[in-house]
Amino acid sequence: MFQFKQFTIHHDRCAMKVGTDGVLLGAWADVHNRQRILDVGTGTGLIALMLAQRSEAHIHAIDIDAAACQQAQENIASSPFPQQIEVFHHALHDYSSICSTQYDLIVSNPPYFVNSLKCPNLQRNTARHTDTLSLETLLRNSHQLLAPQGSISLILPYNQKDYLNTCIEKEKLFLYKEVNVIPTIGAQPKRLLVELKSEQPSSPVISTELTIEISRHQYTEEYIHLTKAFYLKM
């Protein structure tokens, strides 16, 4: 169980537990004027709940894992935001073929291990490895569901930056914002936050850095500012 300021996340039946990646994306994604949001691979429902706390949007949350969907529904039902979020047990590929909604914002903390050694736990493999949802497939299906002025926000390993650029070009998307996420002062970036759109930008890409820690459990002011609406101790 993980207690946030406005809601609680139970994650004992989910392959992926509450982690910094999900919190970063949920706190960073631009919800301004977003009325319809899709959370792809919702897991515990964490990101959907964070976006509900930050907006008045109606949010659809999908996941390929039935146990995760059930736990997400329970987490949402016990939160202050049950009327804002609906959970559906669907893979993105199937969902994109039956859904008529166009979303103003699509978010995902997707599986990111590519051709990596797998563990014996099938549920955890599905959540962590790209076999069931490659980045290329994620972008293609998300683009199909995106409203004309909408955006796609993702968090990815920093070492997938070149692959992301290849996929963006192939799927006719454009990078608007990127944040190089650095775990601690002096370290190399480990994560990448990106915002993509289907229209070519009229101005240069906004590229910034975010450092999480000064030292162990001593957080930077910028990270505290980003997450203080959620973490109890911020």
Over residues 95-126, the pLDDT tens digits come to 999 999 999 999 999 987 455 454 555 555 44
What CA–CA distance (Å, rounded) separates 179 from 118? Answer: 29
pTM over 0.85: yes
Q: Provide the pLDDT for residue 15.
A: 85
Burial of 65 per CB tally in 10 Å (0-12, 13-18, 19+): buried
Percent of the chain with pLDDT over 90: 87
| Of residues 11, 9, 139, 20, the one with CA closest to residue 65 | 11
Q: Provide the pLDDT for residue 118.
A: 45
What CA–CA distance (Å, rounded) separates 125 from 232? Answer: 31
Judged against a pLDDT cut of 80, whether residue 91 lies above it is answered with: yes
Over residues 143-172, the pLDDT tens digits come to 999 999 999 999 999 999 999 999 999 999
Flag the least confident range among 56-60, 130-134, 160-164, 170-174.
Answer: 130-134
Hey, where are the domains in the chain? 2-227
Percent of the chain with pLDDT over 70: 91
Averaged over 177-195, what is the pLDDT? 97
- Which residues share a beta bridge with 204? none
Structure token pair of residue 133: 């949802």
What are residue 95's phi and psi, to 5 degrees? -65, -40
Tell me whether strands 58-63 and 36-40 are parallel, antiparallel or unpaired. parallel
Average pLDDT in the chain: 92
Homologous superfamily of the 2-227 domain (CATH): Vaccinia Virus protein VP39 (3.40.50.150)
What CA–CA distance (Å, rounded) separates 14 from 3? Answer: 16
Instruction: Give the contacts of 22 (CB within 8 A, at least 6 positions apart).
Output: 16, 43, 44, 46, 47, 109, 155
